Amino acid sequence: MSTESMHGATGAYAANALPAAERAAFEAHLETCPPCAREVRELAATVALLGRAVAVRPPPELFDAVMRRVRELPAEPSGAAGAGASAEIGAGDGAGAGEYVPPGGVREAPGAAGSRTASEDDRAEDGRAEDGRAGARAAPARGRVQHARPGRPWLRWALAASLAAVAGLGGVAVWQAEQAGTARQDARRAEARAAELAEVLAAPDAKPVTGKLANGGTGTVVVSEDRNRAVFVASGMPAPPTGQVYQLWFADPAGSMRPAGLMDPARPGAPELMTGPVSGSTAVGVTLEPAGGSPAPTTEPLMVLALPAPGTP
């Protein structure tokens, strides 16, 4: 395209009427043509008004669906991050050994994995890289590992898994420049969530309860009464059938179930900070639900784990 015809494409560009290749060429042209860029901004604002003129009333469920997805986001790498080319995280600052953590978390049973260090897990994971995120480092992770106490092997294991969850997100990963803002934002939220998760796991009063899942695998709930929160970790759990998701529940003594979050199918084995306070609950349940989750269980629980009674040592 000549410069003149380039300039003539401002309208077509603003209306998204250029095919992909021309769109890219025009965007390159925009970089060198401030008057074109200005015209495009004005025409983009103009077509936005065309868009506003066809507004319709969205169904209330749309908001619920959006919020459900939004609330699940912090624990989930952005699409770009998941596909993440070279998500090498800036953990290079004098990093001690042992902070490499496998993506996707630890898949072995707690007992088996309990005595392994995070770095051993990483080596074990090396070369598999099923989800394409191997090699990501958990920059924010370092230091929290030190909260792990001797004599509580499950804690070290659970922490390693939780750090893996952060690693999957890639802190300040390097991917497409245009994704950087999103990445930082996701990472910030993920770190806040991971920090809370780590605090539950490291709380002096944290207690684990473990049970078998009906469809194979093991589920562990770590409860901190002080923090009034719980973390769920599964191992050896099969991937949910297509279109379904594992949902967590808090059960009260009357037997009613309160939704406590969905497990991210992209991160099997990663711990989930359960949504909502623990207080008032006497058990934790896991069910299979349609994608997006349900307000109340629609299937038989795969597991119901009784929580330790409050005040027990």
Partner 1 sequence: MDDVKQLGTLLGRVADGDETAFAAVYEAVSGSVLGVALSVLRDRSQAEEVAQEVLVEVWRSAGRYRPDRGTVRTWVLTIAHRRAVDRVRSAQAATDRERRAARLEAALPEFDEVSEAVEDREERDRVRRCLGSLTEIQRRTVALAYYRGLTCREVSESLSVPLGTVKTRLRDGLLRLRDCLGVSDG
Minimal distance in Å, beta carbon 83 to partner 1? 15
User: What distance in Å separates the CA atoms of residue 74 and residue 195, rounded to the nearest whole number?
Assistant: 12
Distance in Å, CB of 63 to partner 1, minimum: 6
Measured at the CA of 125, the angle between CA 120 and CA 131, to 5 degrees, comes to 145
How far apart (Å, rounded) are the C-alpha atoms in residues 96 and 164? 16
User: Which residues are CB-contacts of 194 (< 8 A; sequence separation ≥ 6)?
Assistant: 140, 141, 162, 163, 165, 166
Q: What is the largest CA-CA distance in the chain?
A: 79
CB of 179 to partner 1, least distance (A): 8
Q: Quick one: DSSP state of residue 268? A: T
CB of 208 to partner 1, least distance (A): 29
Residue type present at position 168: G
3-state secondary structure of 194: helix
Give 310: exposed, middle or buried? Use CB within 10 Å, 0-12, 13-18, 19+.
exposed
By C-beta, is 49 or 309 nearer to partner 1?
49
The residue ranges that bind partner 1 (CB under 8 A) are: 5, 8-12, 14-19, 38-39, 41-59, 62-63, 65-67, 69-70, 73-74, 78, 178, 180-182, 184-186, 188-189, 192
Q: How far is the CB of 154 from partner 1 (least distance, A)?
A: 30
Kindly tell me which of 70 and 97 has the beta carbon lying closer to partner 1. 70
